[in-house]
Amino acid sequence: MNVGDMVKVNKCNACPAIVGKTAKVTGLISESGGKAVTLSFGRGRPANGRPHMFSIEDISLVQTQE
């Protein structure tokens, strides 16, 4: 997974309303051996209560046609 890739949120316990939505990867974070990404949903600042970091296990890469 790279910055700029489009991903789909498969799981989010903190904000179930975003499950199934697509977002753009804006950053990669590796802390304590686990990997996480920061996502941008393209609508300005995130809504209250929405996490800004997601585990790579909770998202999947969206295949785009070129």
Task: Provide mean pLDDT across the span 17-23.
Answer: 89
User: Using one digit for the tens of pLDDT, what is the confidence trace for 21-44?
Assistant: 999 999 988 775 668 998 888 766
Among residues 54, 49, 47, the alpha carbon closest in space to that of 26 is found at 54
Q: Is the pTM of this model over 0.85?
A: no
Q: How far apart are CA 66 and CA 59, in angstroms?
A: 22
Q: What percent of the chain has pLDDT over 90?
A: 21
Structure tokens at 33: 């051996």
For the chain, give every domain's residue range.
6-61
How many other CB atoms are found less than 10 A from the CB of residue 9? 20
pLDDT band at 11 (very low <50, low <70, confident <90, very high): very high
| DSSP code of residue 32 | T
